[in-house]
Each structure stands twice: as C-alpha cells, then as structure tokens.
Amino acid sequence: MRQIWPVIVAHRGASATHPENTLVAFEAAVAAGADLIEFDVRLTSDGVPVVMHDAHVSRRTDGDGFVHELSLAEIKRLDAARGVGDRAEVPTLRETLELLSGRVGVDIEIKNMPGEPDFDSPVEAVTRATLRELEATSFDGEVLVTSFNWLSIELVREANPDIPTGFLSVGAIDPRASLVYARTSGHAFVLPQATAVVESGAAFVDEAHAEGIRVGTWTVDDPAEMDHLFALGVDALATNDPAGGVPVRDRHRRPADQTRTDRASGNDSTTT
C-alpha cells in the first residue's frame, strides 16, 4: 500500500481536456501526474470488457446502441472523440491495463447497476471478466475496484481478497451508512459523492480513519473545493482535471511518518 497521501484520481482520464475513457485521456492523466486513473468497465455482446461509462454509446461516441448488444468489432468502429480532433477508439480493458501497467495505479469502476439494461447480478459477468483481465495482464501497479453495486465488489473480495475494493455512493446517501457497510464487508474505501463528504465534515473522515478505512470522493474540478476536501482529510479525490488537481494535492501531502502526528495536532489534512 502506498505511503504518501492524499492522491489525485483522474476521472475517466484527463476528461476535461480529452475524450473521456480513451487511451489519449489516460496518457494525458499520466503526464499530469495523477496517482490513479479511474475508468468504467462494461461487457460487449461477445463478452469482452471495454471501457465505457454509459450503458448506451450515443453520448460519448458517434454510434448508437447499448454496449452489451454490440460486438467488440462494432464497438471498435465507433469514434469516441465524436469527430472532434483525432479519432479515438473505445479501448478494451486489456488495452487499458497494458498501457498503464508499471506507470500509474488504476481505479476500475464496475458498471452493473439495477435498472440498466445490462444488469445481471448476481451473475456479475463483467466483474468476473475484469478479474480475469487483471490476472492475464499481470498488471503492475496499485489496483482499486469500485462500484455502486455491493454485489460486484463483494465478488472481488471473495475471489481475490488482496485487491482493495471501494463502495461508491451518491450525495443523497448518508456516508456513515456506507461506512458501516464497508467496515462489515472488509472494503478498503468508502467513496461518497463530494457534497455528502462536505456535509458530514472532518468528523466523518476521522471516523472512517479510526476504522482503518480510507475516504475517497468524486468528482471535483474547482481547486478551492479540492482544497477544502483535502483539508477535511480526504485520502483520494477524483477530478476530470488532474493537471489542476495535482498542485492542490501536493500542498496537502506529508510523508507517512508525519501524517498522523500532524493531523492529531491540527497542522495537516492528510492521514496515512
């Protein structure tokens, strides 16, 4: 586990300046100094895990249709840049892992949500495919697997307890409820939406740290908001603009052996 906190997570890569969830966005996030690259995984009709946030391809590509109803060949014909600048393919999970291995950590969000057309819990085909690709590529670097679906991350815990997992929640959910769940299920992170963390304050972050659970949050691009969240003690912050977030992160960083002492004395915002 890393020794320096907090960290910047590039949300779908450097998505403020590049097409989200594409290799070019991931390269830009690495260049910006992000600690982890966050991306979303879904399955094609022929069972290949690809990096795509939405269940339907129309928002982020020039195509039409649901990811789970399109083959990999059909997905690869799409332009994820939507004609703006150079063409960008929708990457497979394997392509993404191979690009980033040995260079940066990854935060893999499993997309398998109730109400969406590709939802298949408790089968969890996309989670199983993600685990297979992690093993097949022998990814070199930090890995965090997250989801709003507790069944997905519980399968990861069951299949490979060495992979840290995190539970995502929206702003309307009390983050302390997520914390209770994460503690009882052995997840390394709680990941409430930023509004919920701000409302709950430093006391919530301290409570999580006392339980040995780290706090991540999403998605913040304003430097002043980032600064406030890091000041509350948040360990990981997802942003579409990693180039803007890295300098804020650096102002809050302390070596591992200093962090708890500084936090206890009120002189720092980070926790190890």
How does pLDDT run along the chain (272 residues), one tens digit per residue? Answer: 577 999 999 999 999 999 999 999 999 999 999 999 999 999 999 999 999 999 999 999 999 999 999 999 999 999 999 988 899 999 999 999 999 999 999 999 999 999 999 999 999 999 999 999 999 999 999 999 999 999 999 999 999 999 999 999 999 999 999 999 999 999 999 999 999 999 999 999 999 999 999 999 999 999 999 999 999 999 999 999 999 999 999 999 976 544 443 443 344 333 32
pLDDT of residue 85: 85
In a domain, 220, yes or no: yes
DSSP state of 67: G
- The predicted model scores a pTM of 0.92
Residue 41 has a pLDDT of 98
Report in angstroms the alpha-carbon separations of 176 from 25, 198, 205: 33, 13, 10
* Total domains present in the chain: 1
Is position 94 within any domain?
no
Confirm if 86 and 147 have CB atoms less than 8 A apart.
no
Predicted pLDDT of residue 262: 43
The parent domain of residue 258 ranges over 7-40+104-265
Give 184's contacts (C-beta < 8 A, 6+ positions apart). Answer: none
The pLDDT assigned to 254 comes to 73
CATH number at residue 244: 3.20.20.190
- Give the max Cα distance, the chain: 57
Measure Cα distances from 232 to 221, 239, 262 in Å: 17, 17, 13
Backbone angles phi, psi at 188, to 5 degrees: -80, -25
d(CA 166, CA 230): 19
pLDDT, residue 256, reads 57
What's the pLDDT at 266? 43
Do residues 63 and 88 lie in contact, with contact meaning Cβ atoms separated by under 8 Å? no
Predicted confidence at residue 1, as pLDDT, reads 55
In a domain, 25, yes or no: yes
**Strand ranges inside 86-152, DSSP E:** 105-110, 143-147
